[in-house]
Amino acid sequence: MNEVRRIPRQELPVILSGSRSPIWWGMVILVIIESTVFATLISSYFYIRVNSPAWPPGGLPNPDLLLPIINTIVLFCSSMAVLWGMAGLKKNDLRRLKIGIGAGIALEIIFFIIKIMMGTGGPFDWSTNAYGSIFFTINWLHTGHVLVAILMASVAEMLAFRGYFDRERKLGVQVVNIYWQFVAVVWIPVFIVLFLTPRWY
Amino acid sequence: MSGPADPTMPDAAERAELAELDRTWGSPPGFVGWLSQVNHRAIGKRYLATGLVFFLLAGIDALRIRLQLAMPENALLGPEPYNAAFTMHGTTMMFLFAVPIMEGVGIYLVPLMIGARDMALPRLNALGYWVYFIAGTSLYIAYFFGLAPTGGWFSYPPLTRAEYSPDKGLDFWATMITFIEIAALVAAIELIVTIFKQRAPGMSLNRMPLLVWSVLVMAFMIVFAMPPLMVASGMLALDRTFSTQFFNPLLGGEALLWQHVFWFFGHPDVYIIMLPAFGILSMVIASSARRPIFGYTAIVLSFVAIGFLSFGLWVHHMFATGLPLLGMSFFTAASMMITIPSGIQVFCWIATIWNGRVRITTSFLFAVGAIITFVLGGVTGVMLASVPFDLQVHDTFFVVAHFHYVLFGGVVFPLFAGFYHWFPKVTGRMLDETVGRWNFALMFIGFHVTFFPQHQLGFLGMPRRVFTYLDGLGWGELNLISTIGAFVIGVGVLLFLANAISALLAGRRAEGDPWGADSLEWATSSPPPLYNFQRIPNVSSQNPLWRSDPDETPVEVELRSDRRETPVTALLDARPQGRLVLPGPTLVPLFTAFSIAFVFLGLIANPWLVPVGALLTFGCIAAWAWPRDWNVDDTGRPGEGARS
């Protein structure tokens, strides 16, 4: 039997980030769960669609494109802003982090307001028919995710203003960033399916 | 850093360290303190106990069903109470017993088996339990007030849409099922993260105990199977309370959409609850046979293969819905294919027993009973995978018999094997073996007396879910036999309860390792101390308590005892990477669970509760996420401690 090798606690950091941290993995799995939710809803969309004689059914017009396209750009910018702020953290630049997250939050609030404007107008709602139900469920579920991302990032921003984060202590912003990027990326299939595919065929 | 091994510590220092660990890992006294506990074993025990209570409640419903069917044209239960009884029996067994109790097994045993002091996110664990508790009790409170769901445990629309089931019972069902899946998902995240990052030094993936492997695969299956269920039951709840049209064929909705999404969850769910049971069987059989499990790698690969294949079987629940032929052929093939990994496991277990020095304990008997019953259920499963046969017996008692064989063989008997195996570890007391044998005999014989005749009843054409049948069809005798069998199972379960209670009151004290088993949970005392292990064990083989590799240098990580710390290790090879500082007791998870419950109850009662609940939830989560201690670092990082 060999001697026991004792690892002193100075060699065992408690400030963990990235894939070393269990909490980082927790957020990754949450994102997988959320992706499964969206995948199920999008599959349901196509299931209802292939069994429908016309799409959109009941003589409804195709959904408007202008506001969703603006929103796509807004969301892309917010995603870039947060990434830019995160990159600042690598250089211990806390000011850049605060600006990045702040800009990201502001842009997502714009996204949210545009969503509200889109959601209240229009010739149908989610009780009109199954198309309306699946359209608005996916749409509003994504908007709910935007809201959660805004709230999460606000907590991170408050911590940043108190000087909590630095080059090593960054797990909090890392997990917010994962969620943030997920909300931005999942918008792409949502946008394509809800707004573009009815025009394509 | 290869200093000399720790010299034997003076007794006084050792005692002081243990006392400090006890303080650190303890919870405040009293009821509020009890509510605030977050330790994984406290939560695990609550899952197990609550799951058992629901098992008994569902068992009572089962007996009521069997009494009603004992003779033709019986008027004991009318059609409505009968519908409520079978709906609640199925719902409880699947959602409130089987899934949560398997999570409870994982939450209790996994950290002990991998040599950790607690799980990665202890407060999330507590949240999961409270969600489960609130959802389960609300469903039962509604049931006792006469608001029972009556649509069967899979609630097919259009029957379950508001036009045809206007009562509030189904609203409770749809919202509470959506709600309770939060608990399952939370437990899955917990278990995956803990297994990935908190294994004792040296426990590389290929040295993990089989139960841990099975729990890992189960958790991944939950990640992919439960979200579709939440979507389906969420759609149903929206259809019922917010007049969406997902399942309304008149306005473009699809009743079959429900069946697809529900069974996309429902079939994997069967394996979600069976995989940990297979893990239990592997552990029990290896320790009873007193040899390492035969075919460790083959069993692990079977777990993974079952996990994947189970997502390709769901349509075999829908053979009678008129799907295209190609689809049906595909799902027939897939359904038959899953017997291959299942068969591999059975052969590995048999080989282990064959080559072992078997000690026949009650848990071993339950394990053998499980294998026999499960194989019989598997055989009828292969029969049902063929479309022409399925069409013949669809929705008859043959199907009822089939899935009870699978679920008793694949869940209930393994679970009882596990109860007898780990009861000493959990409580520090031994269950009585003589009573145990009676317990096994009654449950095993009772089970086969109950369900074997139901195959025949199915062939004779007796449909499931019909509250009575006419005299003169020749079904009376077989039904009476079946009912007698059900009561024999009931006596067996009561015997188990009596055994457990008398063991708790006056049972023989258990040593740390009463079975001479091989995995780490037996390396600590029975019951384990609050912190599980004073020193984190070191692992250099698949059976750490039986053998260790002399060529590997054992590693000991230094942990503080004045706060909750557990080691973090690398995902593949479990090299120490750091320490995880865990939070202590708190009421926040309880408040969060109630806030989320507000959101869901709002869906039933009053939509204005939804935003209120959502705001409360966010407040709780913000309080939760706020860092408690800004100066956790003690490794002498430059600049640390300058801020506050």
Of A164-178, B322-336, B470-484, the range with the lowest mean pLDDT is B322-336
How far apart, in Å, are the Cα atoms of B396 and each of B42, B326, B399, B455? 42, 25, 6, 9
pLDDT classification of B641: cutoffs 50, 70, 90: very low
| Least Cα separation, residue B485 to chain A (angstroms) | 42
Residue B605 has pLDDT above 90, yes or no: no
Would you say B579 and B635 are in contact if contact means Cβ atoms under 8 Å apart?
A: no
| Least Cα separation, residue B425 to chain A (angstroms) | 27
b/e string for B191-228 if b means 16 or more Cβ within 10 A? bbbbbbbbbbbbbbbebbbbbbbbbbbbbbbbbbbbbb
What pLDDT is stored for residue B9 in this prediction?
54
Instruction: Name which residue leads in pLDDT, B175 or B11.
Output: B175
CB spacing of B257 vs A47 below 8 angstroms: yes
Give chain A positions within 8 Å (CB) of B547: none
**Cβ neighbours, 10 Å, residue B83:** 21
- Contacting residues for A98 by C-beta, under 8 A, at least 6 apart: A85, A157, A160, A161
What pLDDT is stored for residue A200 in this prediction?
84
What's the mean pLDDT when you consider all of chain A?
A: 92
ipTM reported for the complex, 2 dp? 0.95
What's the mean pLDDT when you consider all of chain B?
A: 93
Give chain B positions within 8 Å (CB) of A50: none
pLDDT classification of A141: cutoffs 50, 70, 90: very high
Residue B610 has pLDDT above 50, yes or no: yes
| Least Cα separation, residue A9 to chain B (angstroms) | 5
- Chain A from 28 to 87: CB within 8 A of any B CB: 29-30, 32-34, 36-37, 40-41, 43-44, 47-48, 51-52, 57-58
Helix (H, G, I), strand (E, B) or coil at B580: strand
Give chain B positions within 8 Å (CB) of A3: 2, 4-5, 553-554
pLDDT in tens, B127-173: 999 999 999 999 999 999 999 999 999 999 999 999 999 888 899 99
* Shortest CA distance from B230: residue in chain A: A37
- State how far the Cα of B325 lies from the Cα of B307, in Å rounded to an integer: 26
Task: Decide if A18 touches B, using CB distance below 8 A.
Answer: no
pLDDT in tens, B548-581: 888 888 899 999 999 999 999 999 999 999 999 9
pLDDT in tens, B223-268: 999 999 999 999 999 999 888 999 999 999 999 999 999 999 999 9
Tokens of B260: 């697809």
Would you say B579 and B562 are in contact if contact means Cβ atoms under 8 Å apart?
A: no
Q: How many helices (H) and strands (E) does chain B have?
A: 20, 3
CB spacing of B556 vs A15 below 8 angstroms: no
- State how far the Cα of A95 lies from the Cα of A102, in Å rounded to an integer: 10
Give chain A positions within 8 Å (CB) of B323: none
CB spacing of B558 vs A3 below 8 angstroms: no
Report CA torsion sign: A115, A117, A122, A126: positive
With 0-12 CB in 10 A as exposed, 13-18 as middle and 19+ as buried, what is A169? buried
Instruction: Name which residue leads in pLDDT, B3 or A28.
Output: A28
Task: Decide if A124 touches B, using CB distance below 8 A.
Answer: no
User: Phi and psi of B580, rounded to 5°?
Assistant: -105, 125
What pLDDT is stored for residue B170 in this prediction?
92
pLDDT in tens, B186-234: 999 999 999 999 999 999 999 999 999 999 999 999 999 999 999 999 9
Tokens 């080059």, residue?
Answer: A167
Q: Could you tell me whether strands A5-7 and B555-557 are parallel, antiparallel, or unpaired per DSSP bridges?
A: parallel
The pTM (predicted TM-score) of the whole model is: 0.95
CB spacing of B196 vs A22 below 8 angstroms: yes
b/e string for B84-112 if b means 16 or more Cβ within 10 A? bbbbbbbbbbbbbbbbbbbbbbbbbbbbb
CB spacing of B4 vs A5 below 8 angstroms: no
pLDDT classification of B637: cutoffs 50, 70, 90: low
Average pLDDT over residues B55-65: 97
- Contacting residues for B437 by C-beta, under 8 A, at least 6 apart: B362, B365
Pick A5's closest partner by Cβ from B193, B227, B555.
Answer: B555
Interface mutation vs chain A, best among B637, B640, B644, most A CBs within 10 Å = B637
